Structure 1
Amino acid sequence: MTQRLYDYGALLQKVFREYLLLQSISDEQQNQILALFKKQFTVRSGVGVKMGKGLRPKSLSVDDYRLLWKALTKEPGNSLALAQLLMLFLGLTAEEVCALDSEDLLPIPNYRAYQLRITKRCVPIKKNDNDKNYIISGELPSSESYRNVPVPFLLVKLILQSAQAPQKPLFCYDKTGQRIKVNELQAEYRKLFRDFKKSFLEYHRDDGQAVRIQVSFRPENYRQSCRHFWQFLCGLQQNEIRYLGGLAQIDTAGQHYIDFNNAHKQYHMCVQMSYGLMAVAAPGTLPPKMPNGPLERKHHIDGVFNHILHTRLYIRRPCTVTITSAHGVTIKTEEGCLRWESENL
């Protein structure tokens, strides 16, 4: 119950008491009736946890993603920030991110795109109460956890700077050059959301005590939110989402017949994820540039969330047309298809 609703209930209680006095009802009966009203009108003491769990958001909004993207890209060379970006947009766990090596960033065959090979994780070994070491283990929780995750184009530009040297951890500390630790990455990730905006709900329990519970997004729900991002902003199908999340497929086609490691499938998922990330990181900042001159015609095309964009141009007289695209374009003419890709990928 909110504060306003509680005040409204207190006002109704006064009105009921005045009405009961006019009916010549004894004080004992009045107290019994008002106690019953108050019990039905207020929240029981043990309901607060259920309220907070039910009202807590399960996914981040587009505006929230934009704020987090800006916060994590202030320092392009910060390894901890890049590792958190992989957790936020690729759904990787902290153990999987810390175990990545430069050789795990592979090009998608026949395409100008990249994928991350997830085959190992960092496992902590506790020597004593004050010392923790980590080893790289090839044992993942399930067979579905072994997967290739395509990397959106905007993330590739940031990661390639950290993957120049082979046989080297993909993310390491700038000063020491050692692999980043799982516990420190998890602490930074929790700190990121701790400094993020929070929402609270205030209500009164049946004993009259005012209680304030937090109903904001929790960092441990980031993988669930990432699946919402893939579905509603990137337009991926459920079997693709389950593959990227390292989950078992729920249908026969996804289990036995669809090859998610195929280069064409990887590139398709990479393009869709790139569209979604572009809408978050750079909305409306990548319009095509039209040729200059006295007959200049400008046409602005926004980023697409779910499908590849199809645009038809009617040219009624000879002219020169210049088309630029952030992710490539296929031009169909009477003589066939012409493939063109930007050099700025």
Structure 2
Amino acid sequence: MKLRLAAALLALPLIAAPVVQADIFEDAVKAYAANDHAIAFARAKEAAEAGDSRAQLLLGTLYLNGEGTQRNVAEALKWLEKASEAGEVSARYALAVVYRDGVAVQQDLAKARDYLERAPDHTGAQFILAQMLAAGEGGPANGERARMLFEEAAMAGHPDAQFSLGAIHAAGLGVPVDEAKAADWFRKAAEQGQPDAAYNLGLMALEGQNLPKDSAAAAKWLEIAAKQGLPEAQTTLGRLYLAGEGVEQSDEMALSLFAAAAEQGEPTAHALLARLYLIGRGVEQDVTRAYAHYLFAKRQGLDDSEFTEAAGDRITPEITIAAEKQVEEWLSAAAR
């Protein structure tokens, strides 16, 4: 996992450091933005050793990511801690992520939560803190405070927080169920590209749930989620292309989307591919491959009885052996 802090660093004010240090730090950030990590590391180290806390944050991140230098977790933690002690809330956020996720260190949820508590002005930190409070990670659960932090982060424009707040209103977690509010927050998040929110909006538009029933609008939202690799969105959008619902009918697009979802193990996509290969729709008919997709979906709990009825006695012992071998290859590839 690589921490992504350079964009935030570009926006940091320069008044906290002497002019010479500020110039060196600016050079480091510009070099990082230009993917010249070796120069970024050298300039950040120079400014960090001179006491620039922003450079200490950048240097710690470079050590952690192994950018411009060999990865060195001990040095990363040292410099991030120095930046944290100097008041850099982004350093506290970075340290929290390191300890929460166990990034090359022993996972320590209590320590992660402590760093997050000390970053009240960092929207990303408050979002993660809300998640931990909701789940009772690193300390006692506090659903009410979690909801308040989700709301604060959502109001500040954090897309994942907006999605979470939408889910809270949709499920009525500590608040009355309000699907209109849920849709509003999902829309705010989806407009920033949040895939889960876009997927939910797509389903709501398909079903006419607190949104006008509109297949074209549904396809628009589903495409946002599908392009980011959400397998459920890829499968649902593929269905629309297969039926020509809200989009121009295209077997090719449907197959491409089903294949992308199936590569991630999405069982419905496998079941749909099984049907298409069985009848040769959009692809050359291949009963073995069809049966392999069917078996994969069945292993995930989706048994398509219509497929077995349609396949009938075409599923020979030889095809069964070949299909089972293909499923094992898919499972082995997914495990790597």
Pairwise same-fold verdict (TM > 0.5): no
Structure showing greater Rg: 1
TM-score interval, smaller chain: under 0.3
- TM-score scaled by length of structure 1: 0.24
Where is the helix percentage greater, Structure 1 or Structure 2? Answer: 2
- TM-score scaled by length of structure 2: 0.24
